[in-house]
Structure 1
Amino acid sequence: MRFFDAQNPVERLALAVGVEADRQRPMPQLQREEAVRQILQTAADAGVSRVATKPEGDGERLLGLGWPFPSPFRVSVRTVPVNDGVDRAEARARRSLEHMGLPRGDTVLVQAATDLVGEDGRALWARLQGLKDRGLFRRIGFIASIEDSPAVLARRFRPDVVQLPCNVLDQRAVSTGILDQLAEQDVAVHLSSVFAKGLLFSAMETLPPEMGRMVPQLSRIRRRLAEARVDPMQAALSYTLRQEGVECVIAKVHSAAQLRAIIAASHAPCPDMDWKALSLEANAVSSRFGVVAA
């Protein structure tokens, strides 16, 4: 399996649409609907063909109101946690399609690999396999962290898709060989957290106090990028889009203007960088700080 194609980077982008970037100044409902519509139309015009969703708030309903016609998008959805039972997890996956006005979806993902290793894991997986067999979803898979040993879990469940966090600051999916191991199993990989939850862009003084020890490393990384005249967004996208064995890279967008910037950055020539020099030390990367959260 080889998904990497440097000639068509936009075709490997997936969008996670969220229009409430500023919770202190929420948009009026009609404005939110229009913002989503503009994002989707901008994506369709640019050739972006994938959308990744979460079963939270009214995001799926807004997507259903905003699809261009005919819709060019392949949509992936997540299950809700299996704590409330496999019946609810299955029903909510079906409802995601209903909220978006779709007869079927591309992929349904178990929202966390830990749901599969619990006592209901096999039953949950069987329910998703049933949805696939009935044609409601083309593929099934799961979302995992590096600590979940996703390649080992993939050998056990044989998913079509695995979603992992990966970015220039947290390169463990590459350095540990996980991407190669999943490719060997013919598993499609979706990368999330590609912008490191904003760490490449946030002002140092706004970082949480717990991250104080990371500030010198972040400063050095930003200085390297500045000296190479590489925009952080360009670096983030170049690093993830160049990885072989990756089907798509998920970028969260809040506006059509932001999406246009992402598209432009994805088309920029891949900089000649020492990528390993941009990685934070493994012991400095913690999901508590949002760097590796899926």
Structure 2
Amino acid sequence: MTIPPARSAPASALALAVVTEPLRAAPAAPGAREENLRALLQTASDGGVRAVVSRPDGDQERLLGHAWPFPSPFEVTVLTVASTEGLDRVEARARRSLERMGLPRAGVLLVSSAADLAGSEGRALWDRVQGLKDRGLFKKVGFVAEVDDGPSLLARRLTPDVVRLSCNLLDQTACRSGELEALGALGVELQVSSVFAKGALFGGSATPEAWHGRELDLSRARRRLAEARVDPMQAALAYGLSLPGDPKLVVSVASAAEMRAVLAAVHAPAPAIDWAELDLGRSAPGAGAPGARRVSSAA
């Protein structure tokens, strides 16, 4: 039975992905949206969260730019647009992300897909990203990957500062494959996304698309947590805190109330659960086979 080690400041392991669209909250007027976001960010800051991740689509970056606490304690991770939009566009959009968020520089720039680095323009793309770091616009650079991309092999070739992989209590492939440990051994900083398995841990009326056909397995996993009297959010975060390499756990939050719930869960005592018993990725068809696709890769 694996019990994660204690961390003196577990909230510092969180990286906040702010949900600005009305996905989990009722639509609000523009002014109210910004005020709600200010409250969310202030709650995160007061709770010890020191990292925020952004994305280039939608209105999130602009809203963040109007809502930062002052002075802002956050290190921000920026994602590139797809390389299919052209290398000039990738570079220009990364610069534009900083402008939209009102930042002279940011902590991390991640190539949004490792597959972009494997293509014919992969080296040129990486040179553009490195160039932005060399100019002081980003402190660190890296990429987002799946286990199938062979991220540790790619890291040996490119020497990134940061790599983001998806991993969660229900699909522990990234940990079980040894990729997290391999990246850590290379000195790469880790970000882990899909911590809540796209909501699959929490049930609800609709099963996330990546888990279609696994409804019975999901029900059994949730029942096991309920029988152990363990809150799913608490279990998901405790598992994330147990992962090798002390990764940042990317968690999506839509309101100050959700942020308070996440902070409470991340500070809760680690449950005495055998994580392997909840690894549905291990029992998926083709799991562990070379080239097998992930059960869930979405954040």
In structure 1, the residue matched to 2:267 is: 267
Matched, 1:45 2:50: no
| Alpha-carbon distance between aligned partners in 2 of 1:257 and 1:158, rounded to the nearest angstrom | 39
CA drift of 1:262 comes to 0.2
Pick closer, same or farther for the CA change 1:164–1:210 going to 2, 3 Å: closer
Give per-residue Cα distances to partners, 1:231-259, cap 9 Å, x unaligned: 00000000001212033101000000001
Alignment-derived partner of residue 293 in structure 1: 298
2:298 maps to amino acid: A
**Residue correspondence of structure 1 range 180-259 to structure 2 within 5 A:** 180-203=181-204, 205-207=205-207, 211=211, 213-259=213-259
The residue aligned with 1:61 is: 62
Correspondence for 2:13: 12
The corresponding residue for 1:117 is 118
User: How many Å apart are 1:19 and its aligned residue?
Assistant: 2.5
2:280 maps to what in 1?
280
User: Residues 173 and 281 of structure 2 are in contact (CA less than 8 Å); yes or no, is this contact kept in structure 1?
Assistant: no
CA gap 1:7/1:25 in 2 versus in 1, 3 angstroms: closer
Aligned residue in 2 for 1:98: 99
TM-fit CA distance, 1:21: 3.7
Structure 1 residues not aligned, in runs of 5+: none
Please identify, of 86-95 and 14-23, the stretch whose mean Cα deviation from structure 2 is larger. 14-23
- After superposition, the Cα gap between the structure-2 partners of 1:178 and 1:66, relative to the gap in structure 1 and judged at 3 Å, is same
> What displacement does 1:54 show?
0.2
Q: Is the 8 A contact 1:15 1:52 kept in 2?
A: yes
Matched, 1:84 2:85: yes
Q: Corresponding residue for 1:165? A: 166
Secondary structure of 1:293 counterpart? coil
- Residue pairs, 1:133-144, within 5 angstroms: 133-144=134-145
Aligned CA-pair RMSD = 2.1
Distance 1:113 1:150 in 2: 8
Q: How many residues align?
A: 289
TM-superposition CA deviations, 1:34-67 (whole Å, max 9, x none) = 1111111111111111000000111001001000
Counterpart of 2:202 in 1: which secondary structure? coil
- The alpha-carbon deviation at position 26 of structure 1 amounts to 3.0
Contact 1:145 1:293 in 2 (8 A): no
Contact 2:82 2:112 in 1 (8 A): yes
Normalised by the length of structure 2, the TM-score is 0.91
Correspondence for 2:32: 31
- Alpha-carbon distance between aligned partners in 2 of 1:210 and 1:109, rounded to the nearest angstrom: 23
| Matched letter for residue 89 of structure 1 | V
Q: TM-score, normalised by structure 1?
A: 0.93
Could you say if the C-alpha distance between residues 199 and 208 of structure 1 is closer, same or farther in structure 2, counting changes exceeding 3 Å? closer
Mapped partners of 2:46, 2:30: distance in 1: 24
Q: Secondary structure at the match of 2:31?
A: helix
Partner of 2:177: 176
- SS in structure 1 opposite 2:248? strand
Q: 1:130-158 CA distances to partner (integer Å, 9 max, x unpaired)?
A: 11111110000000011111111111111
**Structure 1 residues 210-251: Cα deviation after superposition (integer angstroms, max 9, x where no partner):** 956412211211111111110000000000012120331010
Displacement of 1:24 after TM fit? 9.8
For 1:131, the equivalent position in structure 2 comes to 132
Contact 2:20 2:59 in 1 (8 A): no
Q: Matched residues in 1 for 2:276 and 2:158: separation? A: 32
- C-alpha separation between the residues in 2 aligned to 1:160 and 1:270? 29
- Once the two structures are TM-superposed, the CA of residue 208 in structure 1 deviates from its matched residue by 6.5
Shift of 1:7: 1.8
Q: Percent identity?
A: 53
Give the C-alpha shift of residue 97 in structure 1.
0.5
